[in-house]
Amino acid sequence: MAIALVLVLIVVGSVLFHFLSPWWWTPIASNWDYIDNTIIITFWITGVVFAAVVLFMAYCVFRFRHREGNRAAYEPESKRLEWWLTVVTAAGVTALLVPGLFVWSRFINVPSDATEVEVVGQQWQWSYRLPGKDGKLGTSDTRDVTPENPLGVIASDPNGQDDVVVEAADLHLPVGKPVKMLLRSIDVLHDFYVPEFRAKMDMVPGSVTYFWFTPTKTGTFQVLCAELCGQGHPLMRGVVMVDTEQDYLAWLGEQQTFAELSAPQQTGSVDQTPRETTASGSKISARLETVEAR
Amino acid sequence: MVDITPADAIPPAEVAEVELYHPHGWWTKYVFSQDAKVIAIQYSVTATAIGMVALVLSWLMRLQLGFPGTFDFITPEAYYQFITMHGMIMVIYLLTALFLGGFGNYLIPLMVGARDMVFPYVNMLSYWIYLLAVLVLVSSFFAPGGPTGAGWTLYPPQAIMTGTPGGQDWGIILMLVSLILFIIGFTMGGLNYVVTVLQGRTRGMTLMRLPLTVWGIFTATVMALLAFPALFVACVMMLFDRVLGTSFFMPAIVEMGEQLQRGGGSPILFQHLFWFFGHPEVYIVALPAFGIVSDLISTHARKNIFGYRMMVWAIIGIGALSFVVWAHHMYVSGMHPYFGFFFATTTLIIAIPTAIKVYNWVLTLWRGDIHLTIPMLFALAFIVTFVNGGLTGLFLGNVVVDVPLSDTMFVVAHFHMVMGVAPILVIFGAIYHWYPKVTGRMLNETLGQFHFWVTFLGAYLIFFPMHYLGLMGVPRRYNELTDMTVMTESAQHLNSFISIMAFIVGFAQIVFLFNLIWSIRHGREAGGNPWRATTLEWQTPQTPPAHGNFGKDLPIVYRWAYDYSVPGAKEDFIPQNVPGSFGLSKEPA
Amino acid sequence: MSVVLVFLLVIIGFAGWWLSHQRLMAKPWLEQGVIGDVVGMEGSTLPTAKIGLGVFLAVVGCLFALFASAYFMRMALSDWRPLPVPRLLWLNTGVLVLSSIALQCASVAARKGQIGTVRLGLATAGLTALAFLIGQLMAWRELTEDGYLLASNPANSFFYLITGLHGLHILGGLVGLGRTAAHAWNGAPPERLRLSVELCAMYWHFLLFVWLAIFALLSGWAATFIDICRQLLT
């Protein structure tokens, strides 16, 4: 008997928790409210099914619990009922699948006016590369990675010379413009994940993956790594700032291009970049050590 | 309609073809035994023991997550070793071994009316290789560098690199060797389970008269035999990559500023192989649970399982379909995006036979005579958690919804609910149900009630709210959920609550273990058929069943496994080996 | 993963054929009494050991199908350099065919009860299988001496891995063959010997088939064949 009551309480409690608890998704900051809408549809359909099944069960337990002299009915099957349930389920599943696939096709087809931004993951930091004035990213190869060329840009490719390299620092994006994130890793799997943007994709060493989105709100957003990448995984954080067009251009103006970064080294003067790399790299390992030392 | 042969016209069943190995001494009777029932108990005890290790590991993880910065000894390195070992042990060494090696060994011969498995010697070897696999796994805790911390998915390249605990030490090697051993051992056992169902059935036991438990375990074993080779291939290739320096999965890599002498390999290839095993594995655990829970519900509701044929077809359908859905674990892995359309469709299609099974369970309750025994309570709890976990699977299977939710706590909550809590509730129900057959005594009812309520409600309270953490964007596999914008203060309180519930639920399992041991001597005498069930294992001449199971003559089967409350019959159950015609002999109008 | 999916389709087809004879559409609650005698559905009339071996071979087949799948997927990447197939493999193939034929003869002789021929067949099969293994080892050595090392290219890695695994299966078969030979020389009951020899023959034929598939795979014909199929389809 208690179980019938508890089953009802579970349904009521779960529904109340869903609507009343403070734990809900972060306010969206990209165009992917389509995804949020699909989730809402899914919540409704699955919620109704969950409540219906569990409440029906609670009723059965209450109504048909054993009492002296009771005998169960004999009822091997009911073809009609089973077919009906199958059809209704199939309809429910279709109602989930169709919008889902529709949004997926949007998700994988990048609009032609999207600008490309490259994200490079490595244990355990994020770097970025933006196309320069020519609007094209130069080719790259992990085998070309050196302390002077941390992203492995192929120096002989003229398209790469004016690329803006942002190593282990914040990424800025202009609001309202679609971006195609080209994702690359030089060591293990990573995953570029900003909860507010909803989109994410693994970065696979040896290949380039992508996703696209349009930032819709200015502000500062935290980047998390969402694919286990070794013991520094939880410390692999980054920052994306979505700026107004003006702020974005101002920031862009301060950045160095690939050619500028490799130039001073050719003349033999101070090599700032590599020191910076090791600095940020050792920062992480220092953090790891302190965590371990605790 | 088949002719009904009068019972006395049938000659007694002949002794099965199997040449039974008759043990002579203590060693061959209890240790190197070839009796499936002893092997079943050996499997169960080993799986439970290693499962307790995994339970303790989960406590340690929850300590760290619930109270960050409080427990210094849980370093990031240790944390990743804990999650990896917890996941691998629970999925492979506990659930797979317990359902197939434990329940499969005990129930298949008894339920199909056989004296033993068809290849008893191979069956014995299966257990000892399994034990060896477990020992190799445990040894990695003591190896230099500790066990691997690569996550239970063991994704390369990180699994075999220095940035991962055990990656360049012994941890990953021992893990791979242990898995390879497990697969070899399992294949030996699996051959037995399959061929015993094919060839060992007693006279009259047609496929459509098998209890659903046997159907579930049988189909799961067939799937496992075809799916485990994928894990075997992946493990062997990774072992080559790690030990012999090949590049099956290793692309060009710069590790901490240094070029590794590797190149060209594909991490995605490993993921395909892994999930080609990994997805069927979910159903390898689920199908035996489906089968067992069907029998629990039917027996304790005193009513035939509703839609038996549909249940059988659904099991077969799910088994076949589960081989073409594997890449739904890889929607955000960077594989070709067009695969998403195909795998989302197949994944959601598999929801239909699964839903039918759920409907048929609850429809069995309808107009039943529900005895709220502990096995029944666990069965009801299974339905709640399985429906909950199954429905969240519709989120993750629907490719675009998976994008924001993948690799968050939502996934953790989903798979714990659907393939952790739900099957384990069935295991508990099944233990309360069959313990009287195994030992001859009932488990203590009061302790059982306590165990049930704490486990069911506690587990629901752990994993239901956890979905919402994932929805907020809290990622999984983080040992520190601090300094994170998505992790609000209230969410951290929720996390602490989840941890506390985890300790309480874990404690209840210790009570359960105590009950298991205590009742062997002090439980109430059960008699041969305490639940008044129809299936053959309850009709053995001795309880616990003796060597050879059925005494001099094997039983003859005259009816299906679900003749409960047949109109016209005096009792509310008719065992499968009772001749005579009752009830409906014509299609109901 | 297409190779293994095709393999699974074959298995599913076989399972479906078998299930279709098991009256899955029957309504079991309407059937009381012994029905096994009427339709003979308590299991196959084949010896249980043969069915067991059949299931095991399906698992082994799945294993090699998966290797083939992995082979094709890895092959598509840019660093793949096919290695020249040693001529010796042709000879080895011939030896393995001989081995299979010898066992087939032994199996026929066992059915007729000619114990002398059985012994001859078993001995020939064992020796030729050993010769095959030695031949494979020589092929490995030849490749290693020519600089095709295990880790230097994925094509080499696959070559050693797959041939090695196949060799291990032959080695396992030799253990079974040894036991059968012991039966043949110690005068085991003819029924038992016959089954034993037939099981060996079955295993040998299967491994020969697997070897031919592997040979086609490693020498590149399988890839060419698939290319042609693909072109025909598009």
Which residues from A are below 8 Å from C27, CB to CB?
76-77
Query: Strand A171-174 to strand A238-243: parallel, antiparallel, or no bridges (unpaired)?
Result: parallel
Interval B235-261 mean pLDDT:
90
Give the closest-approach CA distance of C29 to chain B in angstroms: 6
Whose tokens are 């960050």? That residue is B68
Give the confidence band of B6 by pLDDT, cuts at 50, 70, 90: very low
C30: nearest CA in chain B? Answer: B585
The sign of the CA dihedral C19, C20, C25, C27 is: negative
B253: nearest CA in chain A? Answer: A187
A257, part of any domain: yes
The per-residue pLDDT of chain C, averaged, comes to 90
C213, part of any domain: yes
CB A225 within 8 A of CB B356: no
**Beta-carbon separation of C32 and B582 below 8 A:** yes
A253 to chain C, any CB pair closer than 8 A? The answer is no
A72, part of any domain: no
Do A88 and A132 have their domain in common?
no
Number of domains, chain C: 1
Which residues from B are below 8 Å from C67, CB to CB?
233
> Which chains touch B (3+ CB pairs under 8 A)?
A, C
Residue A291 predicted with pLDDT over 60: no
C197, part of any domain: yes
CB C47 within 8 A of CB B327: no
Q: Range with the lowest mean pLDDT among A66-70, B124-128, B304-308, C88-92?
A: A66-70
Do A172 and A256 have their domain in common?
yes
- What pLDDT does residue B586 have? 46
Do A15 and A152 have their domain in common?
no
- What pLDDT does residue B260 have? 85
**Beta-carbon separation of B229 and C66 below 8 A:** yes
Number of domains, chain A: 2
Q: What pTM was computed for the model?
A: 0.93
* Nearest neighbour of C157 by CB, restricted to B205, B248, B323: B248
The domain containing residue A231 runs over which residues?
Answer: 115-293
Identity at A79, one-letter amino acid code: K
Calpha distance B470→B415 (Å, rounded): 13
Do A129 and A87 have their domain in common?
no
A239, part of any domain: yes
For C166-192, b/e burial (b = at least 16 CB within 10 A) is: bbebbeebbeebeebbebbeeeeeeee
Which residues from C are below 8 Å from B1, CB to CB?
30-31
- Angle between helical axes of B171-199 and B76-88 (0-180°, round to 10): 10
- What pLDDT does residue C35 have? 60
The per-residue pLDDT of chain B, averaged, comes to 91
pLDDT more than 70, % of chain B: 95
Give the closest-approach CA distance of A83 to chain C in angstroms: 16
* Nearest neighbour of B247 by CB, restricted to C19, C51, C154: C154
A71, part of any domain: no
Residue A79, CB-side half-sphere exposure with 13 Å CA sphere: 5
Residue A265 predicted with pLDDT over 70: no
B contact test, residue of C2, C10, C59 with most B CBs within 10 A: C59
Whose tokens are 């230097």? That residue is C152
The sign of the CA dihedral A121, A126, A132, A135 is: positive
Residue A171 predicted with pLDDT over 60: yes
**Beta-carbon separation of A72 and B369 below 8 A:** yes
- What pLDDT does residue B19 have? 55
**Beta-carbon separation of C29 and B560 below 8 A:** yes
Residue B520 predicted with pLDDT over 80: yes
The per-residue pLDDT of chain A, averaged, comes to 87
Interval B508-526 mean pLDDT:
94
Which residues from C are below 8 Å from B201, CB to CB?
42-43
**Beta-carbon separation of B202 and C42 below 8 A:** yes
C9, part of any domain: no
A31, part of any domain: yes
Which residues from C are below 8 Å from B205, CB to CB?
36, 42
Residue B259 is encoded by which pair of tokens? 């070029």
C32 to chain A, any CB pair closer than 8 A? The answer is no
Query: Strand A179-185 to strand A115-122: parallel, antiparallel, or no bridges (unpaired)?
Result: parallel
- What pLDDT does residue C228 have? 84
Bridge partner list, A166: A128
**Beta-carbon separation of B267 and A46 below 8 A:** no
- What pLDDT does residue B411 have? 96
CB A232 within 8 A of CB A125: no
CATH class of B34-250+265-539: mainly alpha
**What is the CATH classification number for the domain harbouring C145?**
1.20.120.80
Do A268 and A139 have their domain in common?
yes
- What pLDDT does residue B13 have? 39
Do A133 and A276 have their domain in common?
yes
- What pLDDT does residue B438 have? 95
Identity at A130, one-letter amino acid code: L
Instruction: Provide the ipTM.
Output: 0.94
Interval A20-26 mean pLDDT:
93
Which residues from B are below 8 Å from C36, CB to CB?
203-206, 557
Residue B338 is encoded by which pair of tokens? 């067009």
Interval B34-47 mean pLDDT:
95
C27 to chain A, any CB pair closer than 8 A? The answer is yes
- Collapsing DSSP to helix, strand or coil, A118 comes out as strand
Calpha distance B315→C67 (Å, rounded): 28
- Cβ neighbourhood burial of C104 (10 Å; 0-12, 13-18, 19+): middle
Interval B107-125 mean pLDDT:
94
pLDDT tens for B444-501 read: 999 999 999 999 999 999 999 999 999 999 999 999 888 888 888 999 999 999 999 9
Give the confidence band of B27 by pLDDT, cuts at 50, 70, 90: confident
- What pLDDT does residue A133 have? 85
**Beta-carbon separation of B205 and C42 below 8 A:** yes
Query: Strand A179-185 to strand A190-193: parallel, antiparallel, or no bridges (unpaired)?
Result: unpaired
Which residues from A are below 8 Å from C29, CB to CB?
76
**Beta-carbon separation of A142 and B254 below 8 A:** yes
B309 to chain A, any CB pair closer than 8 A? The answer is yes
Which residues from C are below 8 Å from B191, CB to CB?
52, 55-56, 59
C30, part of any domain: no
Residue C8, CB-side half-sphere exposure with 13 Å CA sphere: 23
A23: nearest CA in chain B? Answer: B468
Give the confidence band of A136 by pLDDT, cuts at 50, 70, 90: confident
> Which chains touch A (3+ CB pairs under 8 A)?
B, C
Q: Range with the lowest mean pLDDT among A274-283, B50-59, B93-102, C140-149?
A: A274-283
- What pLDDT does residue B442 have? 95
> Which chains touch C (3+ CB pairs under 8 A)?
A, B
Give the confidence band of C78 by pLDDT, cuts at 50, 70, 90: confident
Residue B252 predicted with pLDDT over 80: yes
**What is the CATH classification number for the domain harbouring A165?**
2.60.40.420
- What pLDDT does residue B583 have? 54
Calpha distance C77→C66 (Å, rounded): 18
- What pLDDT does residue B584 have? 53
Of residues B25 and A111, more confidence is placed in A111
Residue B4 predicted with pLDDT over 50: no
Which residues from A are below 8 Å from B371, CB to CB?
66
A contact test, residue of C29, C30, C31, C32 with most A CBs within 10 A: C29
C62, part of any domain: no
Which residues from C are below 8 Å from A76, CB to CB?
27, 29
Domain boundaries, chain B: 34-250+265-539
* Nearest neighbour of B17 by CB, restricted to C48, C73, C77: C48
Residue B60 predicted with pLDDT over 80: yes
Residue B227 predicted with pLDDT over 70: yes
Which residues from B are below 8 Å from A45, CB to CB?
394
Do A90 and A149 have their domain in common?
no
Interval A60-73 mean pLDDT:
92
The domain containing residue C137 runs over which residues?
Answer: 86-233
Calpha distance B321→B326 (Å, rounded): 10
Chain A and chain C share a number of CB contacts under 8 A equal to 3
B264 to chain A, any CB pair closer than 8 A? The answer is yes
A contact test, residue of B61, B370, B418, B483 with most A CBs within 10 A: B370
Q: Range with the lowest mean pLDDT among A290-294, B281-285, B513-517, C183-187?
A: A290-294
